[in-house]
Amino acid sequence: MTALHYRRPEESDHIRVVEAIPVWWKMPPDAAPSRLLPRLFFQHFADTSILVEADDGRLAAFLIGFRSSSRPETAYIHFVGVAPALQRLGVARDLYERFFAMMRVQGCTRVDAITGPINRRSQSFHRALGFTVGGDTEVDGVLAYLDYDGPGEHRVTFTRSL
């Protein structure tokens, strides 16, 4: 296994990340993942986000997160990805733990995240990391919040103390 190098993302990393998402997630070409992860996250939340590269410079993983401005005790993880070849090796867990440590230093006592009802793997991952899973209506076989992120955008919520 190649050594992994952790650093803060730069604005210029945005295009690499949005191009990786549909490949890593096997999304249809019109899924427009950049709508979920616009450049603003790389401009304004770089200081609390993490980008991981392999020895050869290729993108290996990333975590985009920030501290809430209106709920300063809360940290929020917006988007996390790990290259398929590097999955199941603890990289995502390591990214989460690095983010938790950063946010504890800033005084956060809670971390939140969300996923879609269909994303069982994300739900298992968050449970394994000690997150409480939230939802009140069965959607695709799991409890989720209906229209949480707008019409038709149902979400499972995760929260964990820090």
- Chain residues in the site for its own copies (CB under 8 A): 8, 14-15, 18-19, 32-40, 43-48, 66-71, 74, 76, 78, 112, 147-151, 153
Closest separation in Å from C-beta 43 to its own copies: 7
Q: Smaller CB distance to its own copies: residue 1 or 70?
A: 70
Nearer to its own copies, 9 or 60 (CB): 9
| 155's tokens | 């979400």
* CB nearer its own copies, residue 46 or residue 61: 46
Interatomic CA distance for residues 41 and 39, integer angstroms: 5
Q: How far is CA 109 from CA 8, 69, 93, in A?
A: 22, 14, 18
CB of 45 to its own copies, least distance (A): 5
* Nearest of 85, 79, 96, 1 to residue 41 by alpha carbon: 79
Closest contact distance (angstroms) between CB of 89 and its own copies is: 28
Diameter of the chain measured on Cα atoms: 45
